[in-house]
Structure 1
Amino acid sequence: MATSIRLAPETEQRLDELASRTGRSKAYYLRELIEQGLEEMEDYSLAAQTLERVRKGQEPVHGAADVRKDLGLLDD
């Protein structure tokens, strides 16, 4: 799917310089940035949803002591 975006001149210059310096295409870096950015945004969205469920009491919360006990990591 072809998509076009407008970049600030400074951003486009930085992208041009990076592509020139590394021998990779601008399209390569744009794809990488979008994929990484999407992953980060998806992770953030999931975390925000989980936090909302915790705040509403809909998500179980486990204390560190309980986790250590369940894993058999307590000092006797």
Structure 2
Amino acid sequence: MLAIRLPEDIERRLTALAEATGRTKTFYAREAILGYLDDLEDIYLAERALEDVRAGRTQTVPLDEVMREHGLEH
């Protein structure tokens, strides 16, 4: 269970959307959170990977080498 307090303008928009589509505000709040959570997880993983590269914990491979290895040379 989750309870959130939204700014009035966002609450009005959410209510209007729900009424216009016959869906619940909960449906749209859930959809928004799930979509945003995917993005946040991707950002977090990318930032960690970048930190690992910068700290020398992860080796990189030049793009031309990857392309050659997979037969994608131009």
Structure 1 runs of 4+ with >4 Å offset: none
Distance 2:4 2:67 in 1: 50
**Other-structure match for 2:73:** 74
Q: Which amino acid aligns with 1:45?
A: Y
Unaligned runs of 5+ in 1: none
Q: TM-score by structure 2 length? A: 0.91
1:30-72 per-position Cα deviation (integer Å, ceiling 9, x unaligned): 1111111111111111000000001111112111110111012
> 2:55 is matched with which residue?
56
1:45 alignment counterpart? 44
Distance 2:2 2:70 in 1: 49
What's the Cα RMSD here? 1.1
Structure-2 separation of matches of 1:5 and 1:33? 13
In the other structure, the counterpart of 2:26 is 27
Instruction: Give percent identity, aligned residues only.
Output: 39
Question: Is the aligned partner of 1:11 residue 2:10?
Answer: yes
TM value normalised by structure 1: 0.89
